[in-house]
Structure formats: C-alpha cells, structure tokens
Amino acid sequence: MQIESNQSAVPIPSRIPTSELTERIQKLGEWFHNLDLCGVKTAPNHFLGDFPNVKWKQISPAIPEHLEGVTVLDIGCNGGFYSIEMKRRGATRVLGIDVDDRYLNQARFAAETLGCNIEFEKRSVYAVDQIPGQFDFVLFMGVFYHLRYPLYALDRVIKKVRGTLVFQTMIRGSETVRSLESDYPFWNKEIFFDPDFPAMYFIEKSYSNDPTNWWIPNCAAMEGMLHSSGLTIIAHPENETWICKPSQVTRDGRYILDMELDGTL
C-alpha cells in the first residue's frame, strides 16, 4: 500500500491562541475524551481519570508503532482519541464513525487542531458493512455494551476486518476464563451458578446513570463470543481489551452473519 503524498506521518498542530482554543473546546459541549489540544485538556475532570490515555498506555504496546501504509476504521470514535493516535503512528487512512454529532464535531475539531488528516462520518455500527472495502485495523472499543444487539453488530464489524480487530468492552462479574466442556447435559443446572461460566448481564433500566448500557459480559462470555464469531485472540493487553485476527469468520465462503440471517448457520 502507498502512503498518500500530501499526508505527513507527523501531524503539524495549528497555532490557535490558547484562550480561543479553550473557548472553542467548551463550545463543543462536554467531552468524553480527554485530549491534549496544544496544551488545553478537553476533559480534565473525567470520572475515569486521564481517559482514554490510561487505557492507551496499556493497549498501545500491542499495536505496531509504525502504521505507514495501513488503513484504520475507528467505530464509535467519539472525540477522536484513538483515530488521532493511529494517525500519529503514520496510518495512511483513518476513518472514524459515530452516531453522535457532538462527538463527531469534537473529533473533527481535535484532528484539525492537531493537523491530522482523518475522515469522520456519521454512521452507525449497524451500517458498517456499507462502507466499501476492508481495513487493516478496525477499532471497536467501548461500543459493544451500548448496543441492544451486540453480537449482531460484532458479526457485522468482522466483515470490515482485513487484518486486526482491536476490541474493548466494559466487563463485569468474573474475570476468570477457564476451559469448558464442549457440552453439558440438560439437567446440569449447577454450571449456571458458577460465576466463571460465560454470562452477559442485561441492564433493563440504567447502569452508571447511562440507559444505553444494555449488555455487560463477564470475561468468559466475551472471549466466547469473539471465538464464536470466528476470531482468534492474539493479545489481551488489559482486562477489557482483546486484539484479534479473523480466522474462521466465513463458512463455505459465507459470513456467519449472513448465514444466521437466512437460517443456514
């Protein structure tokens, strides 16, 4: 793959006076991503600390330092933190998608301020397969548990992964993953009382003051779903993040999603 000649791998930040920058950041509404925009922090009081820098510190060693020639799709890009980090590593093309205009506007402003050439587009994960082609890296981070149909979305996302999927979700319950039998008899009810057995917690009302938190898996359920969607886990750099490669995402040349939807899986 060729690097576009008009893009520099090292972005050149723009020079907006700090007072104007602060005002423009505030006008874009409350930020979820704490970005450092030329010395001005966008979410300095985030309840998770310096987020998502704290996560990136743990995940970034599992991602190549040099991404020249690489394409990236960032699903649920929010304020653009991960898109910007991938661009900083030299990615040739980065496309960030999100359903929320406030976050997309923040991401566009952040990328422009930092001199990063990144595409941002309003699009739901459920429409991800309408984006032409596949991507070397797909980031699907912090979105899974916000979806009513999480596995359906994951099976759609997989269609876009040419190389690597970086997946992150909130995890609750047991973080122990044990090997399981390939089958259990119908009358074995005890297994379901084992906290390590794969489970997803369904939130009918709200969790953490956020009614869009729908399904929260434990670790075993998440790894089980990743395997079941045809992915091989190659790294688990922190307790909520898995780096995966597609290995058995198709059967007889057809994606699992398409087979399931037409009843042939």
Ligand X SMILES: C[S@@+](CC[C@H](N)C(=O)[O-])C[C@H]1O[C@@H](n2cnc3c(N)ncnc32)[C@H](O)[C@@H]1O
Q: Which residues bind ligand X (CB under 6 A)?
A: 32, 52, 75-76, 78, 98-100, 103, 124-126, 141-143, 146, 168
CA of residue 73 relative to chain centroid, distance: 9
Q: Which residues pair with 171 in a beta bridge?
A: none
For the record, the structure tokens of 201 come out as 């917690």
Task: Judge residue 99's burial from the number of C-beta atoms within 10 Å of its C-beta, 0-12 exposed, 13-18 middle, 19 or more buried.
Answer: middle
Min dist CB 246 to ligand X, Å, is 20
CA distance 161 to 16: 37
Q: Which residues contact 48 (CB under 8 A, 6 or more apart)?
A: 54
At closest approach, how far in Å is the CB of 136 from ligand X?
18
Q: Which of 75, 71, 66 minimizes the C-alpha distance to 93?
A: 71
Taking CA atoms, 230 is separated from 18, 28, 149, 174, in Å, by 48, 39, 18, 23
- Judged by beta carbon, residue 164 or residue 168, the one nearer ligand X is 168
Q: Which is nearer to ligand X, 76 or 246 (CB)?
A: 76
Q: CB nearer to ligand X: give 93 or 156.
A: 156
Nearer to ligand X (CB atom), residue 78 or residue 229: 78
Q: What ranges make up the beta strands (E) of 32-169?
A: 36-37, 40-41, 71-75, 93-98, 119-122, 135-141, 161-168
Q: Would you call 49 exposed, middle or buried from its count of C-beta atoms within 10 A (0-12, 13-18, 19+)?
A: exposed
Cα–Cα–Cα angle for 35, 39, 41, rounded to 5 degrees: 35
Which is closer to ligand X, CB of 120 or CB of 197? 120
CB of 100 to ligand X, least distance (A): 4
Q: Which is nearer to ligand X, 197 or 243 (CB)?
A: 243
| 4 CB burial (10 A radius; 0-12, 13-18, 19+) | exposed
